[in-house]
Amino acid sequence: MIHRRMQQFWRSGKARPTARIWGPALLISAAALLATPWLIGPRCPNHVVIATGSPDGAYYDFANQYRLLLAKQGITVDVLATKGSVENSERLSRGTDNVSLALIQGGISPKGDTDHLESLASLYLEPVWVFCRSNEPVDDFEHLRGKRISIGPEGSGTREIAKRLLADNKMAPHASVNVECEIVDWGTHASVEGLKSGEIDAAFFVISPNSPIVHELLLADGIQLMNFRRAAAYRRRYPFLSSVTLPEGLIDFEKNIPSRDTVLLAPSANLVARDDLHHALVPLLLQTAEQVHESGGLLAFPESFPSPNFVDHPLNPTARRYFRSGPTLFYRYLPFWLAAWLDRVKILLLPLCTLLLPLLKVAPPVYRWRIRSKIFRWYRVLREVEQKLKDAGPETDFRTDMERLRNLEAELSEVSVPLSYMAEFYDLHLHIMLVQNKLQMHGQTTGNTGVRKAA
């Protein structure tokens, strides 16, 4: 029924003047929207791959939390297990397995080209825990000379930072066995068991203070947590490091663990992306990271993270704007897919408005001109008939003119005229009738049968 009425409306001719006036503006708008993909680049992807770490590590756990939250926004996340931060950095820089995101420990020395990597945020601080077999407090690496030390497996961020710290203390960690100490590359769980059994004398861990491993080793007899007495010196040498204090009794008040304030060095866990990551994903990723990390923890106050500080790579420009101004109105109040689309097309709004505003301004005058031009055209017909009548003789034939006037009346009955022009419209009707009456009177006066028959 609606379709039939639309057809009737169009066939009546009432829609045509409007279409002629507003059609160009609508066509230009439609063309701009159709050209959007070519003008503003590719659409936002709905699938990303993130490199993490071992399946029993914090990176893998956090990435799965991201996966669940992003799935609610229509983004599929593949969580890729790896050996650790070094491998993550290499995969990300090379684009291996379509990796576009990675969780990377601050301060590692990645291999390969890292010019295409950008930091989105630091997520939390990861303390360096050095546990030693000892019954006395340990506050320096001197205690580790000649010992058997686990520094983590190849490809892990723990191994990278352990090698740096040991090298600073002239303990030659680059050789598997040396006169200063014996280095082993055991994983996390093997290192824990080795410490408890006495197979190793010390082990490095870079893990969250909430990890059960930390609690287990702090509560174990005969195992001490190293206090970084010279933390300020390490911070000065390595800007990617922070120092945090583990207050006395924080882990267990009843057993007073740790038994003293303990200073730890702490790199940050960074969310890193390739520089070709679609910019529309950045606000969503940062909002997701806020949901996961902003509550803080034992060593960070709430809302301290995510942060633009403590990052190793240049900060992504969209992330910089996000931290400076927060999410845009689109991302704050609209579903992600709609916000991402509007974020893409907004760059067209200014030129489109620049183009459309003059059209919208011109359209009403043009419409008025078209109505007036029609009225003037009809009056031109009347003037021609009147001029002919003025110059007519007794035998002048007006049958054709009467037919023109009847056709003019029929045309007027099909025309839709705005209310503001109804006065002129009715004036035209009256003037047509007036000219018709003049023709009839001329016929009666002159006895011209042509006029009377036409009438």
- 314-338 pLDDT per residue, tens: 999 999 988 988 877 777 777 777 7
Closest CA to 116 of 85, 146, 95: 95
Q: Determine the average pLDDT of the residues in 45-57.
A: 91
Judged by average pLDDT, the poorest of 17-31, 107-121, 244-258 is 17-31
Q: Determine the average pLDDT of the residues in 238-242.
A: 87
24 pLDDT band (50/70/90 cuts)? Answer: low
- In this prediction, residue 360 carries a pLDDT of 66
| % the chain with pLDDT above 70 | 79
Q: Is the pLDDT of residue 31 over 80?
A: no
Closest CA to 331 of 344, 350, 347: 344
Q: Is the pLDDT of residue 234 over 90?
A: yes
- In this prediction, residue 45 carries a pLDDT of 86
Q: Is the pLDDT of residue 176 over 60?
A: no
- What's the chain's length in residues? 455
Q: Quick one: residue 447, left, alpha or beta (phi over 0 = left, psi -120 to 50 = alpha)? A: left
Q: Are 320 and 314 in contact (CB under 8 A)?
A: no
Q: Are 49 and 121 in contact (CB under 8 A)?
A: no
- Tracing tokens 């929207």 back to the chain, one arrives at 33
Q: Is the pLDDT of residue 174 over 60?
A: no
pLDDT digits 0-9 by tens, 341-385: 677 666 666 666 666 666 667 667 777 777 777 777 878 888 888
Q: Quick one: residue 191, left, alpha or beta (phi over 0 = left, psi -120 to 50 = alpha)? A: alpha
Judged by average pLDDT, the poorest of 111-125, 165-179, 195-209, 383-397 is 165-179
- In this prediction, residue 338 carries a pLDDT of 73
Q: Is the pLDDT of residue 438 over 90?
A: no
450 pLDDT band (50/70/90 cuts)? Answer: low
Q: How far apart, in Å, are the Cα atoms of 109 and each of 184, 234, 371?
A: 20, 17, 76
Q: Determine the average pLDDT of the residues in 308-316.
A: 90
Give the separation between CA 328 and CA 88, rounded to whole angstroms: 31
pTM: predicted TM-score of the whole model, two decimal places: 0.66
- In this prediction, residue 38 carries a pLDDT of 57
Q: Is the pLDDT of residue 312 over 90?
A: no
Q: Is the pLDDT of residue 410 over 50?
A: yes
Judged by average pLDDT, the poorest of 40-44, 72-76, 112-116, 428-432 is 40-44
- In this prediction, residue 261 carries a pLDDT of 92
Q: Determine the average pLDDT of the residues in 217-242.
A: 91
Q: Quick one: residue 15, left, alpha or beta (phi over 0 = left, psi -120 to 50 = alpha)? A: alpha
Average predicted confidence (pLDDT) for the chain: 81
- In this prediction, residue 379 carries a pLDDT of 81
Give the separation between CA 299 and CA 113, rounded to whole angstroms: 33
> Higher-confidence residue: 421 or 1?
421
Residue 2, classified by CB atoms within 10 Å of its CB into exposed (0-12), middle (13-18) or buried (19+), is exposed
Q: Side chain identity at 209, as an amino acid letter?
A: P
Q: Determine the average pLDDT of the residues in 382-396.
A: 78
Q: Is the pLDDT of residue 296 over 80?
A: no
Give the separation between CA 195 and CA 158, rounded to whole angstroms: 17
Give the bridge partners for 285, in sequence order. none
Q: Side chain identity at 404, as an amino acid letter?
A: R
Q: Is the pLDDT of residue 404 over 70?
A: yes
Q: Is the pLDDT of residue 216 over 50?
A: yes
